[in-house]
Amino acid sequence: RGRHVAQTALVRLRRELGLPELSPAHRLDRLTAGVLLFTTRRELRGAYQTMFARGTVRKTYLARAAVNPNVVLPRIVRSRIVKRRGHLQAVSEPGEPNAETLIEPSPARYPPGDGLYRLTPRTGRTHQLRVHMAALGLAIVGDPLYPQVIDVAADDFTAPLRLLAHCLEFDDPVHGYRRRFVSRRAV
């Protein structure tokens, strides 16, 4: 599904920009909005994709979710997340953790009961942020999968997932200097 967004964005941008070599350097879940890094030259693609594979990119997300006074933040959530073929949801299972997320409250205010959270994943498992938030009782607003599956048409955007890939920071593997890309979108 993460590939679906990249491919959809990829096809659209290749067509609109006339860049046949355009390729995504990483993936986002289909319902996640925000910063997505593309490369324009085939010979440089691997260097950028390797940064993501090695976990050297600092990724920051913003999410809207209910406020739960019983949840102490900031906190690091670690778990073993498994996504099985044919199942919509990823699940946390007992065992050695393979997913880690720093979850922090953000001072922004929303309607009563809603809060803004800054999520910094240190790993990149499928649905990791959504699984970790739901496990804390902080299901992300508009999430059709967590904590339970809700039947929503694929083309229904009336209640979007309030999860935004807000910022990417990394040392450019080609030019050597620090790069920072920030989304201007609101959650």
Tell me the pLDDT tens digit for each residue of 122-135.
999 999 999 999 99
Tell me the pLDDT tens digit for each residue of 137-153.
999 999 999 999 988 77
pLDDT at 5 over 60: no
- Residue 137 counted as domain residue: yes
Q: Is the dihedral of CA 174, 101, 182, 72 positive or negative?
A: negative
105 membership: H or E segment, kind and range: strand 99-109
Catalytic center residues: 29
Residues 48-74 have a mean pLDDT of 95
149 vs 24: CA distance, rounded Å? 29
Q: Tell me the residue range of the domain where 125 lies.
A: 55-182
- Residue 28 counted as domain residue: no
pLDDT at 75 over 70: yes
Please report, for the domain that includes residue 168, its CATH number. Answer: 3.30.2350.10
pLDDT at 156 over 60: yes
- Residue 86 counted as domain residue: yes
- Residue 131 counted as domain residue: yes
pLDDT at 65 over 70: yes
**Contact predicate 119/103, CB 8 Å:** yes
- Residue 120 counted as domain residue: yes
pLDDT at 2 over 80: no
φ/ψ of 23, rounded to 5, equals -150, 140
Tell me the pLDDT tens digit for each residue of 36-56.
999 999 999 999 999 999 999
- Residue 15 counted as domain residue: no
Per the structure, the count of domains in the chain is: 1
Average pLDDT, the chain: 91
The beta-carbon contacts of 45-49 under 8 Å, at least 24 apart in sequence, are 47/173, 47/174, 48/173, 48/174, 49/25
- Residue 170 counted as domain residue: yes
- Residue 6 counted as domain residue: no
- Please calculate the CA angle 3-183-12 and round it to the nearest 5 degrees: 40
Confidence of residue 22 (pLDDT cuts 50, 70, 90): very high
pLDDT at 91 over 80: yes
156 vs 12: CA distance, rounded Å? 20
pLDDT at 3 over 60: no
Q: In the prediction, which pLDDT does 11 show?
A: 86
pLDDT at 184 over 80: yes
74 vs 105: CA distance, rounded Å? 7
Place of tokens 């920051």: 60
Q: In the prediction, which pLDDT does 151 show?
A: 84
Q: In the prediction, which pLDDT does 4 show?
A: 52
